[in-house]
Every structure is written in C-alpha cells, then in structure tokens.
Amino acid sequence: MADEKKPAAKRKPRKTAIKKKPAAPRTGTNPAKPGDASAASGEYNFPAMNPADVEALDHMSRNLMQAALKSQKLMSDSMRKALDGKVAMPDTQAINTTPELGEVWSKIVSDPEKMMEAQASLLTGYLDLWTNTSKRFLAGESEPVVKPDAGDKRWRSEDWSENPVFDAIKQSYLLNQNFLMGLVHGVEGVDPAIKRKVEFLTKQMVDALAPTNFALTNPDVIRATMQSKGENLTKGLANLARDLEKGGGRLALTQSDMEGFKVGVDLAATEGKVVFRNEIFELIQYAPTTDTVKARPLLIAPPWINKFYIMDMRPENSMVRWLTQQGFAVFLISWVNPGSELRDKSFQDYIEQGLFTAIDRVKEATGADCVNTVGYCIGGTMLASALALLEARGDSGKIASATFFAAQTDFELAGDLLLFVDDAWFKEINRLMEAQGGVLDGRTMSDTFNMLRSNDLVWSFVVSNYLLGRQPQAFDLLYWNADQTRMPQKLHLWYLDNMYRKNRLAKKEIEMDGLTLDLTKVKTPVFMQASRDDHIAPYPSVYRGAKLFGGPVRYMLAGSGHIAGVINHPGANKYQHWVNSGLPETVEEWLEGATEVAGSWWEEWRDWLYERSGEDVPARQPGDGKLKPICDAPGEYVLVRS
C-alpha cells in the first residue's frame, strides 16, 4: 500500500483508453441545477449545439440507422433462405452434444465439496479484483489478479491493460474462464474421450463469450465507432452480407483478400513443367538452379486436403525453390481438386494411381533406379502405408528414404481432431458428402480446422471484419488456407474410420491385396519432423509413429506449429529446433536428451538427404528424359477452385 502514501502530484498518471476531445464552446442556457425553479417545475434547458455538433450527430444517427436496417434485412434474408430450404443446414440431432455435456456437468455438481472450493476460489478472485481495481482508481496502479496466457492475442490492445475499466472487464472474464475450464478439467469418473469433447466445447463457448467479441465491451470498436461516427458498423454489416451471400446463406468468413494473389504468378511461381497427368494428379518437374544435381531425385507428396503450394509460396519462403538451390532434382505431386466423378476413389487408389505411379514416372524421367520421398501430413500417412505395402510385396527398393513432415501413423494421441470422428459426427459427414454429390466441400474442412484455433482464425476476423468494418488484407498464408480442396467420399470416410477412429495402421490391422501393412517390417531410412505447437499432428503423436518403424529413424522437433514449423526458410532466422540422434522409449526422454538449435531445421535435413542422394550429375532440365512437358508449372489442377 506504499503507493497510496505518495503525494497525489507524484502518482503515476493513468492512461485513458478512450480519450475525449475538448468540448467546443457552447452558447445558451446551462442545465438547471437542483433547487432551481426550472428543476422544480420539471423543465431542463439543454446546452445549445453548434452546426458541427449537429452534423456529426446526424451523421452518426444515419449510420446507426443504416446498420440497424441492414441487420434486420440480413436476419430476414437468412431466415427466409432457411425456411425455403436454400441453405444446407446440418442435422442438429447428429451433432447434438447435450448428452455429453449433461453427463460431465452432472458429475461436477454431484461433488459439492469441489463445487464449493471452486466457487470460493472464484469469489476470492472477484474480491481481490474489486480491491485492486479500487486501488488502481485511487493510486493509479495495482497488480492484476489474473493474467491471460502469454500467447493470447485477444488482449494486445493497450486499453485492456492501461484502462482500469477495461482491465477489470478482462480480468473478470478470465476469472470466469478459469472457473469453468477448471471445473471441467478436474471432473473425475468420466470417459476421457467424453471429457476431452466437453472441454473442447466449453472452450468454444467461453471463447465466443469473450468481451473482445462484443461492440460495447471492446475498446477498439468503441473508439472506431466514435471516430467514424458509426461507419465501421455499416461497413461491417456490408462485409457480413457479402460473406453470407458468398456462402449461400452460410457464413463464409473472409480471412484474406482473395484478389491479392495469383497462383502461378505471386505464389507457386518456381519454374518447372508438368510432365505427367492422370485423373488424380499432375507430376511437376522443377527446373534446376544449379549446374549439377544429386543423382537420386526427390519426390514430394503433399496432403490432398490442401493445395500443394504451401511448399512453394513466395520466393523468399519457398521450400521447393530452396531445395533446387541445394542441388536436388525436385518432383512434386499436385493432386486434383476432385468432383463427384471421383467419389469412389479409395485410399489404395491414391497410393497406386498416385504415389506409385509418380515414383515410376520420376524414374522414367531421370533414369534413376529409386527415389527419395517426402510426405506432408496426410501425404505422410499415405507414404508410410505405401512403404509397408511395398515391404509386403518385396518391392521396397524403389524408395531409398522417406521424410515425414507433421505426419501421423499412430493416432492414439491425435489431438482435438479426434473430437470430430465420433459416431454422430461420422454419420453427419457421410450425410453431407452424399448431399454434395459424393465429395466433401472445402468449406466444411476449413471450418473444422478453424475451430481448432477459433480465437486466431474465427473471432479475430469477426471483430476486424464485422465490428471494426475493415477489409481483409492480402496475406499469403491465409490466402492458401482459404483455397481449399474437396475430397472423395470413399477416400475420406475410409481414412477417418481406419486411421482416426480405429488406429488400424498402428495396430497392423490394415490389409491391401491380401497383405497386412506392418510398419515394424519397414527398414527404409526415415527422417521424422514434428512441431512443438502443432495442434493437428501433436508431437507426442508423431513420436509414437516414429517408434513403429523397423529401420533407422531420425526424429526432429521444430518450433512453432503445423505450417510455420515446417515452412521455415533458413533466411528468415526464425524459431528453433531440437535434435537428438537417439530414439528412447518416450518423447519425454527424447526431450531430456535433446539439444536446442537456433533457426530453421532445413539444413539439418538437407545434410541427411545428401547422404542418401548419390553423386552429383549434370543438371536435368524438365523434358530431357522420357517424359515431355505438358504445360508450365504450377499446372492446371491447382488452379481449380472449390
């Protein structure tokens, strides 16, 4: 309480979030004071307003009226479309979560001791918050009762910490958030899968109710409304109407200016040729940038759930371009964006007609007897399955090495995506694909992944687009994220059921052509990359998969997440990675023996590849071999929009 003893003149001044401009001089009668005759008679003389005040008030009134009218129109249009059956509404019974929520909360309330303890802690927090807030108003500063997580970007505005009112709102929300999440996290006697689902749903609810998401409790929105005289709200509703129209009545949240880039010009611009094409993929051979290349070519299999150019973004962060600069002969599979005609394509089709066909064509183009391979995410799960199939067939020699980026082969610890594969949701996915002609549209998958990081990928854009009325900026990663692909029904359902739901690859329960896929028999050298903050392929899950292989495995952990952990050009000097040549029983033991290295992991991987890529040979130009160019990279399949 030492601060309270300071003379008032020496106290640290408080910063104010929403500053008012000095009032303009006014003319006319002052408001009546208590005891005046006018007050006694009920009369009130308002101060006169100058023309500028009248114009500003009129401007704001008109903007708010327009916002109200647009809001009413949006609601009526959406309701009409829903009633007319023009909006594809999900089967709410299929995704009803009431039983799980009811089971968990009945367990919570049935333990009065824990409930009282949690409520007492919450009450103590509120009393401390009230005391500290009062102290701050009096003394100008005080220690917060609760702080947000260091990586929580919702509170970046200085107003949330500098202004005592908004700071109190923030801390009050955080106390409630911790109260609810703590109750669910501490519940006992509930199936772990149900508990995980309710934790996820509770977090979604708590995130949605954050004061940052409401105009009257977000200082940035209040300031923008005052400064623009309400234009931010009318612009925001125009943005909302645009996104509803784009989604046909279903909100299609805009994250990036989709006119800001052009694939093949700004993105996916590394020089090369499409040298082979069939109904499910195009094969790109990239032009060399060195006089010599390694004899053994490198074939990259990206996930078919996204466009491949995450690996070939702008020149300064393109992995493909960097690999050619290191002297590798680079080939890449560009998957088709499938329509209903491919609804019956299977996981094995993508291995046989996709990966195996691509390997054979690369060998034709280069004269090499085998190739090094890369599998990213789902492409890595496919590559692992293909290795096991080749081993069972006695044909493992065509793949010299396998690198996996953020790829899972054991799905026991697959993270929050496991929440979307229970029986009810699996049935709903099947229904949606049937309604969409045998494919899953890209928007459904995008919405699912966005929910895993809702504060960053949903609510931040709701605030920016609809409350602040801003236009989304051109951002390459978000542009790519919005450029989604469809998926064939048979392939996607099989993958969800056999990998996520039943974990059959890790259990040696998958058969193809009468052969059992057994990763323990795979002796091919493996480089396994994982990312510390990956929410799609958590690093403990990737480590479990690394332990399944029967040959030499190099496991490496990168900083950041599912995308930035992989696409981290050495020139950026960002993040870090951890290395450990051993592969102990648990990932915790691996971490204990790991060494942290600053910057990108690409050079570590490059040196590992050099050892498995043969001698230097004269660089091969696309079309020099048996495969002739069909068109320029990035090809035609990647340009098809969902």
Is 377 a known active-site residue? yes
**Which H helix or E strand runs over 439?**
strand 439-440
Nearest to 212 by CA among 158, 169, 257, 273: 169
- Rounded CA gap, 496 and 487, in Å? 12
Six-digit token string for 92: 């709410």
Catalytic residue among 377, 458, 522, 566: 377
Residue with tokens 């054991």: 410
Six-digit token string for 274: 């499409």
Tell me the DSSP string of 49-104.
--HHHHHHHHHHHHHHHHHHHHHHHHHHHHHHHHHHT-S----TTTT--HHHHHHH
Tell me the DSSP string of 238-302.
HHHHHHHHHTTTS-----S-TTS--BTTTBS---EEEEEE-SSEEEEEEPPSSSEEESS-EEEE-
- Bridge-partner residues for 371, per DSSP? 399
User: Could you tell me if 266 and 475 are in contact, meaning their C-beta atoms sit under 8 angstroms apart?
Assistant: no
Six-digit token string for 21: 């401009």
Question: Torsions phi, psi of 40, nearest 5?
Answer: -65, -35
Compute how many other C-beta atoms are within 10 angstroms of the C-beta atom of residue 520.
13
Q: Is 318 exposed, middle or buried (0-12, 13-18, 19+ CB in 10 A)?
A: buried
Nearest to 377 by CA among 530, 522, 578, 505: 530
- In the chain, % helix, strand, coil (3-state, to 5) comes to 50, 10, 40
CA dihedral 630, 633, 637, 642 (to 10 degrees): -160
Q: Which residues contact 552 (CB under 8 A, 6 or more apart)?
A: 525, 526
Strands 330-335 and 439-440: unpaired
- Bridge-partner residues for 374, per DSSP? 300, 403
Question: Torsions phi, psi of 600, nearest 5?
Answer: -70, 155
Nearest to 543 by CA among 376, 378, 414: 414
Six-digit token string for 308: 């491949």
Q: Which residues contact 482 (CB under 8 A, 6 or more apart)?
A: 254, 255, 256, 258, 446
User: Could you tell me if 493 and 519 are in contact, meaning their C-beta atoms sit under 8 angstroms apart?
Assistant: no
- Bridge-partner residues for 333, per DSSP? 283
Radius of gyration of the CA atoms of the chain, in A: 29
Six-digit token string for 231: 């234009």
Active-site positions read 377
